[in-house]
Structures are given as structure tokens and as C-alpha cells.
Structure 1
């Protein structure tokens, strides 16, 4: 089979021919039909996360080393299954939940495999979707997408479940006041759609790119704000009539978290999903005195992905903009995403 591999960090992916894997035991072999490109793929391609202060979290220190087959947003068709996989519908179309844990630790047993310390996520620790085929370790990770377009459904496995899980953490407040969304990339546009599907009050979107602000307005944002504006915090406070009660930071950089802190009202809730990195110095007294809730959110659980797919089917939730490209253009897609040229999601088609 053909696969596009990270052979050297920050270098173009290389086309490699490998034997098509054969599923054993509970494994399922899936023919890839669509594979999304995410900012997490960029971090893996670069080989590190920025921890701020000149510090890095190197993926090699976590055992993640080239060759790596990227892409964790995968839709495909079941080709075959191992002897212990049970009844699996050959020819069935599925979205794959990629956030796979060890399956044995207390974290996994309570359903939070995405938080497992021994994570085996597809496209990270296991081969991902930039290939003709992918092995899924168990059929429980297959989510039925009957009635949905494969390229439009693929981003639900990351952009979708990440924003859905984060919005759930905000609780019932989404029905009472708008959510301030920082970042109008694929996750930001997805968050707008998820909020609408859940009956939320809507979104005020912050981004430094005018094209992405226009995309947010086209998707139904109540208003947009230039994150580079000197008075961005004041604009957010004015738009939320005294300060934001709910902020979803989908960038996760020092400037965006600082902006969130400046514009949150007393009792505000900030959920950070983005991984752009940096560090933040805060006065600890401000957290109880204001008081603020600052919470991290990392992708989502298998049950949340199933909930999201059912929400999409039930509500008719619109897809985010998807740019379909041949898999052979994966390096151009990475370059475009790296330089902020992608509106919505780039999805590669083998």
C-alpha cells in the first residue's frame, strides 16, 4: 500500500510503499476514503510542542519517532477483520475514533481513553490515515456515518469531538449567553456549528486573520473581533455587556490566554483546547478573587464522538468548509496550513 510518512521532522512527507497490513485478533482493516489534516499533525510533523520559556516537549521523549504516518481524522470502508473482532460489516462506512488508550488502566476503564498515559492514538503512536489502509485495533472504535459525506465527516474525529467536549464543559451557560471563541480555524468554525446544533446563544469570534473572521461571520457568528487590535479585550467586554462568562480558546498561545484572562468577567469560565504553546504568568490571587475557572480540554471520548455524530444526523448540522485534495498533494496542504492559508479543513482523498 501507499503511505505518506514523516521520515524527518519538518521535512516533506515521503511516499513509501509498504505491505498492506492484515488484521489479527480484534483488529479491523479499513480502506481510507478521507483523511483530515489538523494542527496537531503540524506539531507531530515538527516533532515538538512549545512549552514556553524556551522549553519544548519533544515527541521523541514520549517514544514517538519517525517514520510516522499522520492523520487522526479518518473515514473509511471496512475491508476485513481478525478472527476475534466479532461481526463487522465488511463494506460498511465508518468514522474512526482515533484517541485510543491502553484499555486496561483506570482512566481507560472509566471511558477516558483519550487521557490514557499510554495512549496509542492513530496518526500519533500508531499509523494514521495518510495511507491507503489503516488498522483499527477493535471494532468499537468504528462510528457509523450512514447518510454523511466522508470528507465532511472526517473532521468530526478531532475538530468536532474536541469542540463538542469543550463546549460540554461550559455546561448550561451556553443557553444563556454567547460563547467567546478565540480562533476561527477548523475548530472555531466547527464550534460555531456545534453551538447552533446544541441550541446555544451563539458565538463572538476572535481571530487575527480577516479571511477567517469573514468565514466565521458566514458560518453564523454574532460578531467578530480582530485579536491583534489594541483594544481587543475592551471590544470583547463591550460585546458581552461587561465581560465574557464563557471563553473557548482554540489557539492556546500566551497572547490568546492573556486576552481571555483580560476579557473574562468575574466568575468567568475559560476552556483551553489549543496547543500553539507558550507560557503564562498570573497572579494567583486573581483566580479566587475574581473568581475564575481555567480548564483544559483534550480532544474527546469515544462516547462523545458517538453523541456528536448522532447530533449531526439528528440536527442536520452543517459541515465546516472542506477543501478536498488528492493525497499526493499532502505536502502542499501541510505548507498551506502551516502558513494559515486553510479555511476550515483540508481533507486528503487517496
Structure 2
């Protein structure tokens, strides 16, 4: 079978590999779609401290069950499934409290285990042990189901930020995650959703699909001033920084209303993680700042339901579909920012 295997920064190879077999407690899948994300582009450029090469990468996985290993029940050949990316241990104090997204023993598909840029993969027993394989609802395509993983992360972030009916919400960053945040906020009843993006071309491409109440090109205008004007000087109830930008996080403190919530959704580069924070703004305005780290198996299940019900459409966000042979081109396309969502169809 064909696989895309990471060896070192700048060195991802398309190779032939033996077709895997399902061991005890495992499932073997025929991968139908594995979508790409900005993390794949970062891995290609810099590697990742959790990846010990060589490793087949790709973690937004949807496919078809081929074989169930010994001891696995409830799954049959032909079942359509979506697989979680982040694998909690299910046993630590945090997992027992229901905080699986911050499990200190978390592992990941495409990092610790072979990922989805392959024709076939084996789902580890650890994934099945935490109910990390989800049946794809009728009417949802494999491509749409592969987007459930990033949507699950968005759902976690918006729950932590308590996005609610009637809120004015600002989303900073018009990539695929930003687009999903716009649609998730609408599904949660936001009154208005404003999209802020530095790159005009990327903003226009995203706004054409997700139709924010205002699209603000922060490279051309002062985004803080624009948000204040749009909210009659009050600021937004929620600001979500869906970009790896310290400047965006600092600006969020200026955009948010009193008693507002800020989600630092996008992590910052490891060599520049420190921002300037006016603590008095947080104190006197009673602001809440929350992080967001991935998703749980339950978030993935609910993300699939949101897609299936039409509350959060994703099919039109998939702008490029490519075969596995073109995975490097797909990652380049993500890096260039000329697509919203790029999916690989092995």
C-alpha cells in the first residue's frame, strides 16, 4: 500500500509499505479521507517532539472497517467510521474528572501511532478503549466526517468560552478553523459574528462561504476600532483567537466587552509564547481568558451530529480534494493559504 511517511523536517516520502493487520483489540480501516491542517504543515517544516520518525502522519481520519481484531465487538467490515486524533488515557485523575482534553498521558494518531495518509491503517486498542471510533451518520460523506475532528476542537473551545445565544462573537483568523468557529457560533445562537483576518485574499475566500456579519481586514484597518464601532463602543461578548498570533491575543483584550470571554484557541510558536497582558483590564472588567486544547471522544461524536443535522455545514469548506500521491502539494496548498480545507482521498 502507499503511505506518506515523515522522516525529518523537509523530508516526507511517498512509499510502499506492507498492508497492516489488526491485532487484539484493534480495528483495520481502509482510509477514505484524511484531511490536512496547519499542524501537518508545521510537522513538514519543523517536525514535532512527539513524533519519532519514521512515522506515517495525518490525523483527521475517516474510513471503512476492513477487519476487527480479536476481542473487538460491535464493529463489522463495511462500517463507516471516524477516528479521534487525540487519545486520552481514560485512567488519570484528569480523565476521571471528565477532563480528557488535558490528559497528561495523551497520545495522538499520526504522532505516536501510524496516521491516515495511507491506504490502510490500524486503529490502536487504546482508541477503542476510550470509545474513540465513531459511526458516521447516514448522509454524511467520508470527507465531511474527516472534518469532525477539527470541528470537535472548535466545539470544545466554544464550550469553554461559553458562547451563547445573543452573543456578539469575534473570530480572529479566517483559515479552516476560523470558518468552523463562525459556523459553530451561529449554531450556538450568536447574535452577530465578526471575522477578522490580516490577509485580504484569505478573508474574502472565507467570507464568501461563511458570511460573517462583518469581514474586517486587519492589514488595512484597525480591527479593535472596527469592533468597537460595530458594538457601539461596548466590545464583543466573546473573542476567539483562531490564529497563532500573540498580537491577536493582545488585541483581544482591547476588543472584548466587560464581563467578556476570550478564547486563546490558537497556540503560539514555542519560541515566542509570551504576550503583554494588561492585568488591570482583566481585573476591573471581570474578563475571563480560557485556553482550548484539542477535543475529547465525546466532542467528536457531537461534532458528527452537528454535521449530520446541518447545524454546522462543512462540505463547502472542503475546497480541494487530492489523491495520496499529491499529499505534498496538499500540504503546500495549506501553507500558502490558498485553500480552506484540503482533504486527501487515498
Normalising to structure 2: TM-score of the pair? Answer: 0.90
1:261 CA drift (Å) = 1.5
Question: Which of 223, 231, 236 is the matching residue for 1:240?
Answer: 231
1:192/1:202 contact within 8 Å kept = no
Paired residue for 1:107?
A: 94
Deviates more, 1:200-209 or 1:109-118: 109-118
Gaps of 5+ in 2: none
The counterpart of 2:155, out of the listed 164, 167, 173, is 164
The Cα shift of 1:347 comes to: 0.2
Question: 2:52 is paired with a residue of what secondary structure?
Answer: coil
Q: CA deviation at 1:104?
A: 2.4
Aligned to 1:345: 341
Shift in Å, 1:89:
2.1
Q: Which residue of 2 aligns with 1:56?
A: none
Find 1:317's aligned residue among 312, 317, 327. 312
State whether residues 245 and 264 of structure 1, in contact with CA within 8 Å, keep that contact through their aligned partners in structure 2: yes
Q: 2:189 aligns with which of 180, 195, 199?
A: 199
Residue segments in structure 1 that go unaligned for 5+ positions in a row: 49-58
Structure 2 residue matching 1:24: 3-state secondary structure: coil
CA–CA separation in structure 2 for the residues paired with 1:244 and 1:87: 46
Match for residue 217 of structure 1 among 203, 207, 210: 207
SS in 2 for 1:175: coil
CA positional deviation for 1:95: 1.1
Quote the residue 1:328 is aligned against: 325
Contact kept, 8 Å, 2:200 with 2:219, in 1: the verdict is no
Contact kept, 8 Å, 1:12 with 1:331, in 2: the verdict is: no
Mapped contact 1:197–1:315 kept (Cα < 8 A): no
1:55 corresponds to which residue? none
Counterpart of 1:264 (choices 240, 256, 264) is 256
Mapped partners of 1:31, 1:113: distance in 2: 27
1:12 CA displacement: 4.2
Q: Secondary structure at the match of 1:291?
A: coil
Please tell me the root mean square deviation across aligned C-alpha atoms, in Å: 1.8
Kept in 2, the 8 Å contact 1:111–1:302? The answer is no
Q: Give structure 1 regions of 4+ aligned residues with deviation exceeding 4 angstroms.
A: none
Of 269, 274, 285 in structure 1, the residue corresponding to residue 266 of structure 2 is 274
Return the offset for 1:292: 1.7
Alpha-carbon distance in structure 2 between the residues aligned to 1:229 and 1:287: 28
Contact in 1 for aligned 2:4/2:117 (Cα 8 Å): yes
Shift in Å at residue 204 of structure 1?
Answer: 0.2
Q: TM-score, with normalisation over the residues of structure 1?
A: 0.89
CA distance in 1: counterparts of 2:203 and 2:330, whole angstroms: 21
Displacement of 1:161: 0.8
User: What is the count of residue pairs matched by the alignment?
Assistant: 334
Secondary structure of 2:161 counterpart: helix
Find 1:183's aligned residue among 173, 197, 204: 173
**In the alignment, is the contact (CA less than 8 A) between 1:99 and 1:113 conserved in 2?**
no
1:280 Cα offset (Å)? 0.1
What does residue range 71-90 of structure 1 map to in structure 2 within 5 Å?
71-90=58-77
